[in-house]
């Protein structure tokens, strides 16, 4: 009996040792972040020293990463479920992924890691909202072993020491009477809050404390930062880093939309209300400065986490993925905000560090954020999840010029974007199309769709457009509003049971 006990203890200890050999995962999301960061150079005035430091110490930067959807909820739902919007039916922020038929039957990314020996924990915005509890936002608490419930992600509108809150059109504390679109929350200004009073600081501080822990098993830690999501309110110190008089104007082509037409030759887009309002009041430099200030703010939060990782005992055995959920317009294509199929909206940052990386490596291959799920499964040597979409890009992390046959596909309510290293093709559900030679025309000013010499290229790219689209089931999403606690939602309970059968 004694020998049996000793054998059992030895076997258990071997399992623990083998489990510890698996790498940890630090999964960091930054909301509404475009390429205005130092590693990508989208705006040379951006001050993001911590992102720059992260890549220079060793990381791969993807120059042509795309989101699966150009708006928060569907993008995050695709990343975390492993399915494109055209498969899941999650196209808008009002669509809750847990009510999708395909998501009900499949474990989400953190659930899959939990089922395969990882301890999963999260704070901040990773999932899009899935119900609330005691007035606190629930960003997918049901999917993690441990979840830190925090303040509502836009709660700085209540906490900031402005007297005016963050209603649409508040600029530096003053309300613009002619701002019409109340939904966009396009507002900005320096607050009197200290850095330590902000929501994203609280998330970063939580992460630094978790990295001091000894988990006893590999961990999958999600950290979600809110800025630079609107409203652009951050402490004054970050606005002070940019002189509005020295802000460079965004290069804009005023007739940029004229060559995007339907079959009848009618122009299908016009300048957005936000663009017209900012142009009318000559606020372009102020808007650019505000976005830059918010990026620098979140960069400081990220720096806290990365410094804590370096000082922890986990640094040499942790995969780090830093990603933005989609891009953002700041005047390009005569609009602000997101949710378009142009490059500004579909191309977010994606930076990956593997243990042992020692320098910055750039990759031009068009990977998708959807690919993070199968790639992490591969890197952590988990059983392959065969039924999810997306492609494992772990080979690119070893060799950025490795064979890669896939374009980056983005799906929205209005159509599909297909990006390669050479071309960007957009097909709208209305039938209108766009084609850009991204190497010769990186600003996408010259639509080549009507040039007959590109018919073959268009035909090839069109093969990647989803031929069928799952319809969103509105009755499911309305039903979700009846539950204020996700833990009591019967659909989520059923999802857990089904996903356990995998």
| Active site (catalytic) residues | 72, 128
* Distance (Å, whole) CA 306 – CA 142: 26
Element housing 151 (H / E): none
The whole-angstrom separation of Cα 348 and Cα 345 is 7
Q: How far is CA 141 from CA 116, 124, 144, 147, 378, in A?
A: 18, 10, 6, 5, 25
Pair of tokens at residue 480: 């979700």
Q: Give which of 69, 302, 277 is closest to 187, Cα–Cα.
A: 277
The vertex-129 CA angle with 125 and 133, nearest 5°, equals 100
117 Cβ partners below 8 Å, 6+ apart? 19, 22, 217, 218
H helical segments located in 341-391: 343-346, 372-379
Q: DSSP code of 222? A: E
Alpha carbons 321 and 368: distance in angstroms, whole number: 13
Residue 398 C-alpha from the chain's centroid: 23
Q: Calculate the dihedral angle through the C-alpha atoms of 175, 178, 180, 181, rounding to the nearest 10 degrees.
A: -40
| Helix/strand/coil for 425 | strand
Beta sheet of 188-191, edge-to-edge order: 174-175, 170-171, 188-191, 232-235
Cβ–Cβ < 8 Å for 424, 444 = yes
Question: 245 with 45: CB under 8 angstroms?
Answer: no
Enter the DSSP assignment of 471: P
How far out from the chain centre does Cα 164 lie?
29
Distance CA 42, CA 44 (A): 6
DSSP label at 261?
Answer: B
Q: Are strands 415-419 and 408-411 parallel, antiparallel or unpaired?
A: antiparallel
User: Left, alpha or beta for 58 (phi > 0: left; psi -120 to 50: alpha)?
Assistant: left
Q: Look up residue 358 and give its DSSP letter.
A: -
Q: Are 1 and 197 in contact (CB under 8 A)?
A: no
Nearest to 435, CA basis, from 466, 414, 456? 456
């Amino acid at each position: 009996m004694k020998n049996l006990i000793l054998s059992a203890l030895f076997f258990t200890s071997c399992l623990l040792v083998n489990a510890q050999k698996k790498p940890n995962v630090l999964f960091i999301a930054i909301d509404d972040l475009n390429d205005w960061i130092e590693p990508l150079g989208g705006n040379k005035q951006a001050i993001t020293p911590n992102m720059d430091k992260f890549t220079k110490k060793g990381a791969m930067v993807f120059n042509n990463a795309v989101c699966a959807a150009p708006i928060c909820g569907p993008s995050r739902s695709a990343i975390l479920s492993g399915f494109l919007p055209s498969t899941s039916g999650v196209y808008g922020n009002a669509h809750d992924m847990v009510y999708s038929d395909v998501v009900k039957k499949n474990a989400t990314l953190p659930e899959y890691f939990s089922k395969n020996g990882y301890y999963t924990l999260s704070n901040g915005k990773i999932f899009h909202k899935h119900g609330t509890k005691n007035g606190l936002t629930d960003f997918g608490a049901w999917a993690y072993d441990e979840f830190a419930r925090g303040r509502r992600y836009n709660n700085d509108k209540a906490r900031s020491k402005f007297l005016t809150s963050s209603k649409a059109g508040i600029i530096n504390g003053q309300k613009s009477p002619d701002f019409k679109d109340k939904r966009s929350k396009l507002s900005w200004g320096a607050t009197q809050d200290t850095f330590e009073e902000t929501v994203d600081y609280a998330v970063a501080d939580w992460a630094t404390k978790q990295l001091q822990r000894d988990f006893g098993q590999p961990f999958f830690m999600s950290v979600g930062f809110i800025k630079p999501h609107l409203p652009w309110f951050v402490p004054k110190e970050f606005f002070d880093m940019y002189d509005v008089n020295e802000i460079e104007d965004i290069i804009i082509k005023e007739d940029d939309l004229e060559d995007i037409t339907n079959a009848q030759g009618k122009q299908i887009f016009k300048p957005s209300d936000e663009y017209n309002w900012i142009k009318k009041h000559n606020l372009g430099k102020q808007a650019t400065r505000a976005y830059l200030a918010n990026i620098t703010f979140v960069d400081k939060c990220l720096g806290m986490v990365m410094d804590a990782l370096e000082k922890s005992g986990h640094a040499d055995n942790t995969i780090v993925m830093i990603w933005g959920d989609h891009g953002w317009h700041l005047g390009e294509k005569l609009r602000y905000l997101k949710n378009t199929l142009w490059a500004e909206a579909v191309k977010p940052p994606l930076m990956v560090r593997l243990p042992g990386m020692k320098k910055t490596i750039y990759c031009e291959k068009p990977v998708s954020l959807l690919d993070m799920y199968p790639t992490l499964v591969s890197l952590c040597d988990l059983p392959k999840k065969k039924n999810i979409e997306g492609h494992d890009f772990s080979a690119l992390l070893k060799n950025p010029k490795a064979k890669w046959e896939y374009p980056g596909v983005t799906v929205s309510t209005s159509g599909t974007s297909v990006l390669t290293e050479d071309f960007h093709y957009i097909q709208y559900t209305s039938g209108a199309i766009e084609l850009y030679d991204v190497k010769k025309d990186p600003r996408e000013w010259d639509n080549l769709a009507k040039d007959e010499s590109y018919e073959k290229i268009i035909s090839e790219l069109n093969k990647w457009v989803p031929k069928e689209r799952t319809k969103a089931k509105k009755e499911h999403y309305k039903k979700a509003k009846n539950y204020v606690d996700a833990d009591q939602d019967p659909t989520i309970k059923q999802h857990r049971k089904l996903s356990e059968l995998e």
